[in-house]
Amino acid sequence: MRIEARAKINWTLDITGQRADGYHLMDMLMQPVTLCDTVTLSPADELTLTCGGSPLLPADDRHLALRAARALHAHTGCRHGAAIHVEKHIPVGAGMGGGSADAAAVLAGLNRLWQTGLTQPELEALGLTLGADVPFCLRGGLTRTTGIGEVMQDLPCGKYWPLVVIQPCEGLSTKEIFTAYHEGVVEARPDNSAAAAALAAGNAPALSAAMANVMQPVSVQRRPAIAEAISALQEHGAFAAQMTGSGSAVIGAFETQEAASAAFDALAARWERTYLCHTCHESLVITDEA
């Protein structure tokens, strides 16, 4: 079984509060993009994980893919094995949900391979125990996501936008940025309702006006290169450019594929981790192979 585990972007990100257990309450618009890791699942007597691609991550219990398989074992009582291989392409520490995408691919794929019979809501609930982005990475689509990531409202999407994604610096720790958020200054909050309407209509100017990420100032303070990449994307024709998630990746949205391709050609020479992709609907693309 071969699975495209697609990254996600934030069109908006707002923090509306904090629970007693420390988890932050979010209000954000998220969507999958075609930039993806490839997860391959094969029947096996034992549960194993191998990794390839770049960046190369440790193939042990620190990897969310293996933790997802063990969580499915624990939740269902199933004791089948599988050989899991993750070919990495999504940048790490980027705010694009790469680890969550891998976990979602393993949960959805092994649920099918092992015939454990979990429903989509059950998979999403199990995914939430692994990470706040895993439920979205299981569902996909354009969503307005609230709570700690478990409350998702499916939204209409009028257009899939060409994107240039840049990770201009080393990755950031999500935990560190959330902690620092309380010490920083919020420069702008998104208008989630207006952004959702703009995405439904495919209206670039309205989308640009409504977008914001409240975590961006804190991340820029720690990684000034984020601001440099945002400015470069704007200079090369992006109608909107901002950080995604807690960083350190930034996205530039373009009105045409030709404009995005031209920006990519110019900026890839400056930043090694530059990617050309576009928004899409499916977060997981599963292919059964003989």
Taking all residues of the chain, what is their mean pLDDT, rounded to a whole number?
95
Q: How far apart are CA 107 and CA 138, in angstroms?
A: 8
Q: CB 186: neighbour CB atoms within 10 A?
A: 14
Tell me: the pLDDT tens digits for 203-262?
999 999 999 999 999 999 999 999 999 999 999 999 999 999 999 999 999 999 999 999
Residue 290's pLDDT is 47
Pair of tokens at residue 137? 């990475």
Q: Give the global pTM.
A: 0.95
Res. 182 pLDDT band, cuts 50 70 90: confident
Dist CA 34 CA 140 (whole Å): 12
Query: Residue ranges of the alpha helices (H) in the chain?
Result: 64-76, 98-113, 120-128, 134-139, 174-181, 192-201, 204-210, 216-222, 225-235, 257-267
Cα R_g (the chain), whole angstroms = 18
DSSP 234-287: HHTT-SEEEE-TTSS-EEEE-SSHHHHHHHHHHHTTT-SSEEEEEB-S-SEEEE
Class of domain 2-155+281-287: alpha beta
Catalytic residues: 8, 133
For residues 22 and 270, which has the higher predicted lDDT (pLDDT)?
270
Please, are residues 274 and 249 in contact by the beta-carbon 8 Å criterion? no
Q: How many CB atoms lie within 10 A of CB 6?
A: 28
In 10 A of CB 159, how many CB atoms? 15
**Which is higher by pLDDT, 216 or 23?**
216
φ/ψ of 133, rounded to 5, equals: -90, -10
Q: For the chain, which residues make up each domain, given as ranges?
A: 2-155+281-287, 162-278
Domain 2-155+281-287 and domain 162-278, same fold? Reply is no
CATH superfamily assigned to domain 162-278: GHMP kinase, C-terminal domain (3.30.70.890)
Higher-pLDDT residue of 54 and 78 is: 78
Percent of the chain with pLDDT over 70: 100
Question: What confidence score (pLDDT) does residue 269 get?
Answer: 96
